[in-house]
Amino acid sequence: MKSSIRTLGALSAAASLLFISACGSSDSGDDKTGASGSSSTITITDNSGEVEVPNPPKQYAVTDNLSMRTLMDWDLKPVAAARSLMPKDWEWTDDKSIKDTGLHVEPDLEQLVAAQPDLVINGYRYGQYQDKIAKLLPDTPVVTFDRKDDESHIDNLVRHTEQLGKIFEKEDEAKAKIKEFEDAQAKAKEAYDGKATTMGITTSGGDINFSDPAEGRGASPLFEALDLKPALEVKGGDSTDKGNDISVEAIAKANPDWMIVLDRDAPLAAKGGEAAEDYTPAKDLLTKSDALKNTTAVKNDQIIYLPADLYLDEGIEMYTDIFNQAEEAFSAAK
């Protein structure tokens, strides 16, 4: 009889261990930053088509500027990221526990390999390295949500956020971000009178440059998003990150009612050093320009200065802020 009791006791203990082990296994999926090797996967759609990714990722890397602020807001710390491309005041910028892949002009992709991510979210300035990263990490999915040729910047930000929400099990949070973004866009569009002419401007190295309303840096996504009326459109020409090759006199002749300005040097100046010593803020360049002093935008102070970090952070949160800024400016001018 005692032997039977001991046998039953052993079986009961073994069953208990199995039960505890099973419970521990099911709970491990909640750890967003644990060791690699997720227990399950989901299929998402990126620019290449359907891709199987960990659900959720345990230790991911991100090199895409449009994704970083969203993931930081969701408290999803990566094992590697392009920290050198982050704004100075972000909590991840100086976090050395996150391996820094560096600037896109000369990235340190070895940091990605060393981090052993189970997923890489790539794109934007790092988009050119997509194939190289995939070769360096052949067993790791490398996804990108860059804007497609037939897609507006606004639609891309929505798709981008939706897919990030799906990957990281943050779909409710993604919907909330999208709603805030779309509400801000609608209010800014309503505040604009539909008649005032608008011009995108970029400043860099002390120069004032026209920014094309369709493909220029900074203001161009706002023309389509808010149905802004361009003060000037140029066929062809030299369109670069610094703007089109158009004279300040030509800008003055177009006489925009509004200017939307991207100061490309502001992020560099904020880091100090020689860049700060040689820096002239966009506001000084525009308001002190003899050629532009009689334009409606300058005379009436109808100039929207885009956030200084826009050159580094162009995600959905940034454009929500910009729409709110535009709504306030247009409303005040009525």
pLDDT in tens, 203-253: 999 999 999 998 888 899 999 999 999 999 876 544 444 455 689 999 999
Which segments of 205-306 are extended strands (E)? Answer: 207-211, 229-230, 239-240, 243-244, 258-263, 303-305
* pTM recorded for the entire structure: 0.83
End-to-end CA distance of the chain: 94
pLDDT bucket at 312, cuts 50 / 70 / 90: confident
Amino acid at 295: T
Mean pLDDT of the chain: 87
pLDDT bucket at 271, cuts 50 / 70 / 90: low
Q: Is the pLDDT of residue 331 over 50?
A: yes
128 burial via Cβ count (<10 Å: 0-12, 13-18, 19+): exposed
Q: Where is pLDDT greater, at 50 or 88? A: 50
d(CA 319, CA 228): 16
Q: Per mean pLDDT, which of 2-16, 263-277, 305-319 is the most reliable?
A: 305-319
Lowest mean pLDDT across 303-307, 308-312, 317-321: 308-312
Beta-carbon count within 10 A of 48 CB:
11
d(CA 203, CA 82): 25
DSSP state of 146: P
Cα angle, residue 35 at apex, residues 99 and 140 outer, rounded to 5°: 70
Cα angle, residue 312 at apex, residues 151 and 110 outer, rounded to 5°: 95
Token pair 């345990």 in the structure block, residue: 58
Q: What does the pLDDT read at residue 27?
A: 39
Lowest mean pLDDT across 4-13, 98-107, 157-166, 224-233: 4-13
CB 57 within 8 Å of CB 77 = no
Q: Is the pLDDT of residue 315 over 60?
A: yes
Quick: pLDDT tens for 109-139: 999 999 999 999 999 999 999 999 999 999 9
Tokens of 28: 């491990």
Helix (H) or strand (E) holding 271: none
Helix (H) or strand (E) holding 80: strand 80-81
d(CA 40, CA 53): 9
Which segments of 274-331 are extended strands (E)? Answer: 303-305
